Amino acid sequence: MTQLILQNVTKRFQHTHAVDHVDLSVPDGKLVCFLGPSGCGKTTLMRIIAGLERPTAGTITFAGRDVTHVPANRRDFGMVFQSLALFPHMSVAQNIAYPLRLRKTAKAAQARRVAELLELIQLPHMADRLVTQLSGGQRQRVAIARAIASSPRLLLLDEPLSALDAKLREAMQVEIRLLQQRLGITTIMVTHDQREAMTMADEIVVMEKGRIQQVGRPLDIYRDPVNEFVADFIGLGNILPVACDGDDAIVLPGGQRLAIRPASPARRAAHDVRLLIRPEDVCVRPTSAPAAPNALAGTITFVRDVGASIEATIDCRSFTLTAATTPRETPDLHVGMPVFAELPAHACKLIAARGA
């Protein structure tokens, strides 16, 4: 069931389209990430959904009700801001109870709900502490507990983990995801971190310059991006300008011909296309091995050992490739080593060029 529907939502600031004709459906009970670089419109779009900004045009429907012009405090949405916005002079319990007090909930009901949420976020022993006495991760949990205290039907998270260090950030990604799944609450999260979105989301909405570029499951977007912007923003990728040669082949910048899986007619007919192949799909072989189909001769110019994997840069004269492999697969890679870089046909994707 679809919970939230945006139709032709637009927001202009003078001559700038911060959000440009956005159409989007958010399924019930899912966690959806708005992902994109700074200034792409993702936070503005979230603020429009929250009721903190009015759209210049378009409609917002939630659970079958038009909420486009409903004030923020009457939308029944919970929100966690990037700054968390906790009250430093209040205890943990008082912060969590604040939205209940605004609704004039009975004190006994407030106490029961706060106790329940403290158990949920695993901080029952810290009810009376000031939030200034908590760690970053603990403050994050309190902010989420406060946002869901009144049992909202939609939870909005605006870059909630950006202020945390890398290790704590990864731990909180898991905690928030498990909490969201346990509660079954429809959640929208804004982030510029593609790894965070890939880890947490049921669906990712990739944005650039106020427009949605692609919507889909994380792995689908990673494996089959619709254009060069999405491919470049989601993970590492080798992206090369190519020319189509029939239905199932391309010509690389140096003139080499590669076999690929047949692309859609629209992709083949596009004036400006790119080849995408992910580093983990590039197979590195010594030149002593028999040459396989789609094998390109090259020389390793850089090797980076990142523990469980090895990243190698391969100079193929007219272009370079990045390959990601393991010490077990290719134990003796070194700078200056001549190799074959094999590009399997099934892993070669044709995508639209940036701006095409």
- Mapped to the 3 state alphabet, what secondary structure does 309-329 carry? CEEEEEECCCCEEEEEECCCC
Query: How far is Cα 21 from Cα 56, in angstroms, rounded to an integer?
Result: 10
Other C-beta atoms closer than 10 Å to the C-beta of 46 total 20
Q: Is residue 268 part of a domain?
A: yes
Q: Is residue 230 part of a domain?
A: no
| pLDDT value for 3 | 85
Other C-beta atoms closer than 10 Å to the C-beta of 287 total 13
Residue range 304-314, pLDDT digits in tens: 988 888 999 99
* 159 HSE (CA, 13 A, CB side): 16
Residue range 152-173, pLDDT digits in tens: 999 999 988 887 788 888 888 9
| pLDDT value for 329 | 83
Same domain? For 60 and 203 the reply is: yes
Q: Pseudo-torsion of CA 302, 306, 307, 308, nearest 10°?
A: -90
Asked if pLDDT for residue 59 goes beyond 90, the answer is: yes
Same domain? For 324 and 210 the reply is: no
- Which phi and psi angles does 263 have, rounded to 5°? -90, 165
Single pTM value for the model: 0.89
Q: Is residue 131 part of a domain?
A: yes
| pLDDT value for 167 | 84
Confidence of residue 36 (pLDDT cuts 50, 70, 90): very high
> Do the strands 31-35 and 186-191 form a parallel or antiparallel pair, or are they unpaired?
parallel
> Where among 199, 223, 247 does a domain terminate?
223
Q: Is residue 229 part of a domain?
A: no
Q: Is residue 228 part of a domain?
A: no
Same domain? For 39 and 146 the reply is: yes
The answer to whether 241 and 212 have CB atoms below 8 angstroms apart is no
Same domain? For 158 and 133 the reply is: yes
63-67, 113-117, 245-249, 253-257: lowest mean pLDDT where? Answer: 245-249
The answer to whether 227 and 351 have CB atoms below 8 angstroms apart is yes
| pLDDT value for 244 | 87
Same domain? For 161 and 56 the reply is: yes
> Where among 223, 247, 273 does a domain terminate?
223
| pLDDT value for 2 | 63
Same domain? For 187 and 272 the reply is: no
- pLDDT higher for 35 or 166? 35
Same domain? For 146 and 256 the reply is: no
Number of domains the chain contains:
2
Same domain? For 185 and 322 the reply is: no
Confidence of residue 348 (pLDDT cuts 50, 70, 90): very high
Query: How far is Cα 313 from Cα 306, in angstroms, rounded to an integer?
Result: 14
The tokens 């629209």 sit on which residue?
266
Residue range 256-265, pLDDT digits in tens: 899 888 766 6
Which CATH number characterizes residue 78's domain? 3.40.50.300
Same domain? For 204 and 257 the reply is: no
Q: Is residue 159 part of a domain?
A: yes
Domain boundaries, position 83: 2-223
Query: Which pairs with CB-CB distance under 8 Å and at least 24 residues apart come from 68-76?
Result: 75/50, 75/51, 75/154, 76/150, 76/152, 76/153, 76/154
Confidence of residue 266 (pLDDT cuts 50, 70, 90): low
| pLDDT value for 130 | 94
Those residues with Cβ within 8 angstroms of residue 116's Cβ, 6 or more apart along the chain or in another chain: none
Same domain? For 198 and 86 the reply is: yes
Query: How far is Cα 347 from Cα 164, in angstroms, rounded to an integer?
Result: 36
Same domain? For 162 and 270 the reply is: no
Those residues with Cβ within 8 angstroms of residue 33's Cβ, 6 or more apart along the chain or in another chain: 188, 189, 190, 191, 196, 197, 200, 201, 203, 204, 205
Asked if pLDDT for residue 1 goes beyond 80, the answer is: no
> What does the mean pLDDT of the chain come to?
91
Residue range 217-245, pLDDT digits in tens: 999 999 999 999 999 999 889 999 998 88
Q: Is residue 255 part of a domain?
A: yes
Query: How far is Cα 19 from Cα 207, in angstroms, rounded to an integer?
Result: 10
Q: What is the mean pLDDT of residues 271-283?
A: 92
Q: Is residue 231 part of a domain?
A: no
Same domain? For 113 and 252 the reply is: no
Asked if pLDDT for residue 95 goes beyond 90, the answer is: yes
| pLDDT value for 47 | 95
Asked if pLDDT for residue 65 goes beyond 80, the answer is: yes
> Where among 223, 248, 283 does a domain terminate?
223
Which CATH number characterizes residue 322's domain? 2.40.50.100
| pLDDT value for 270 | 62
